[in-house]
């Protein structure tokens, strides 16, 4: 293992053009950078305004919190934390994790992207799932191939394309999103805020009974629009349906090809959010088909990610051949995924769907059961 340190001086940025393996970056109070690698090459260079790091393997990097980080291509997973100076990342072929970082600009992420207690986030594409909790300063994303889960967000959120489902709980700013799956929202929009959601599946919105909002609701059919708010008819036969709650301070536009439900009842929210559609509504005729499709899509993504992980493991093993030292940070990361065994039978699949319909398990549990039966993790 190689290790080097370098005083920072007056530099304000650190640049890593390429990380051939996994990357872990942590901010600290010292006025120097420390770099470790399991590779054969490790070079630190100081310029007038920036520092550069070059390596040919996995990299552990510690740097002053005041610095900003400029990353090129990361061939494995990347973990960046405690860096309020902000980050710019062009490409990550594995998963990306951000913790306590400032403003982040992200190009393409092949795996999952998870951000916690971080600043404004701008994303070009994520080929798997996006999860943001405690975001400060807003979020914009062009393309998310998987699910999006947002909790306790400050600032505006703009999602141009979400291929699967959207879950939002707690948002202080405006929300604009196009979702190919379902949208499940728990919001309390303030005066002057706007919510615009279009979904190819269903939309569930939970708000307080005392909310002030003007709503425009559009669904596949008029009977697919349902409102469970005090003093408001559940259905009025119109599509789109417009109504004003309280003083109408917030503007909410919901358009779905499936069902739209707006409710203030916690029981509706809990059951509906669990299954990603109206919990107390009758099960749709194509329910089993839809669950099957969603499970198959999740399995396909998992298989693709497993293939990418196996490829990265092979590359790492090739780099490490003949070396005495090596390291990684993910349990089991050095073991190639086990290929799927026998496919799930129709009987097993229907048994799982029956448990899902009877609310004995969640949709997530169903996916895990099917994955386990197929030999996944």
Q: Would you state the torsion angle of the CA atoms of residues 115, 139, 85, 93, taken in this order, to the nearest 10 degrees? A: 50
DSSP assignment of 311-372: HHHHHHHHHHTT-S----SSTTTTSPPPPP-SPPPHHHHHHHHHHHHTTSS-HHHHHHHHHH
CA distances, 193 to each of 160, 174, 190 (Å): 19, 5, 6
Taking only the tens place, the pLDDT of each residue in 295-321 is 555 555 556 655 665 655 565 555 555
Give the pLDDT score at 301: 58
Q: Where are the domains of the chain?
A: 1-72, 73-275, 287-373
**In sequence order, which residues have a C-beta less than 8 Å from that of residue 187 and are 6 or more positions away?**
168, 170, 171, 175, 195, 205, 206, 207
Mean pLDDT of the chain: 82
Taking only the tens place, the pLDDT of each residue in 255-298 is 999 999 999 987 766 665 554 433 333 334 444 454 455 555 55
Provide the pairing of β-strand 68-74 with 148-153. unpaired
Helix axes 363-373, 287-320, angle to 10 degrees: 60
> Do residues 82 and 24 make contact, with C-beta atoms less than 8 angstroms apart?
no
Mean pLDDT of 86-91: 97
What does residue 355 show for φ and ψ, rounded to 5 degrees?
A: -60, -35
Give the pLDDT score at 352: 72
- Rounded to two decimals, the pTM is 0.74
Give the pLDDT score at 272: 56
Q: How far apart are CA 364 and CA 53, in angstroms?
A: 41
**Residue 26: Cβ-neighbour burial (10 angstroms; 0-12, 13-18, 19+):** middle
Neighbours of 63 (CB within 10 A): 28
Give the pLDDT score at 236: 86
């Amino acid at each position: 293992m190689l290790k080097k340190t370098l005083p920072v001086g007056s530099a304000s940025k650190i640049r890593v053009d390429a990380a051939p393996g996994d990357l872990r970056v942590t901010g600290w109070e010292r006025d120097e950078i420390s770099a470790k690698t399991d590779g054969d090459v490790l070079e630190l260079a100081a310029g007038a305004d920036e520092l550069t790091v070059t390596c040919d393997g996995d990299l552990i990097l510690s740097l002053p919190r005041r610095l900003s980080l400029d990353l090129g291509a990361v061939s494995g997973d990347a973990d960046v934390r405690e860096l309020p100076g902000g980050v710019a990342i062009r490409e990550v072929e594995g998963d990306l994790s951000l913790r306590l970082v400032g403003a982040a600009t992200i190009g393409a992420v092949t795996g999952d992207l998870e951000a916690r207690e971080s600043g404004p986030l701008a994303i070009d594409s994520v080929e798997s799932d996006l999860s943001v909790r405690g975001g400060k300063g807003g979020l914009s994303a062009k393309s998310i191939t998987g699910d999006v889960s947002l909790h306790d967000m400050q600032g505006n959120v703009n999602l141009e394309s979400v291929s699967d489902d959207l879950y939002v709980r707690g948002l202080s700013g405006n929300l604009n999103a196009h979702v190919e799956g379902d949208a499940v929202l728990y919001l309390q929009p303030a005066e002057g805020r706007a919510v615009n959601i279009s979904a190819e599946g269903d939309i569930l919105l939970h708000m307080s009974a005392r909310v002030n909002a003007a709503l425009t609701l559009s669904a596949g059919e008029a009977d697919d629009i349902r409102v469970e708010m005090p003093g408001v008819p559940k259905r009025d036969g119109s599509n789109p349906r417009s109504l004003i709650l309280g003083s109408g301070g917030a503007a909410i536009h919901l358009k779905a090809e499936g069902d739209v439900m707006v409710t203030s009842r916690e029981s509706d929210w809990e059951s509906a959010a669990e299954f990603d559609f109206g919990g107390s509504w009758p099960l749709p005729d194509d329910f089993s088909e839809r669950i099957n499709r969603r499970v198959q899509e999740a399995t396909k993504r998992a298989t693709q990610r497993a293939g990418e992980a196996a490829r990265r493991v092979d590359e790492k093993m090739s780099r490490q051949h003949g070396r005495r030292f090596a390291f990684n940070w993910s349990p089991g990361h050095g073991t190639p995924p086990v290929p799927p065994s026998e496919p799930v039978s129709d009987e097993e699949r229907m048994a799982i769907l029956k448990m899902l319909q009877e609310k004995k398990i969640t949709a997530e549990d169903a996916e895990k059961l099917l994955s386990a039966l197929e030999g996944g993790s």
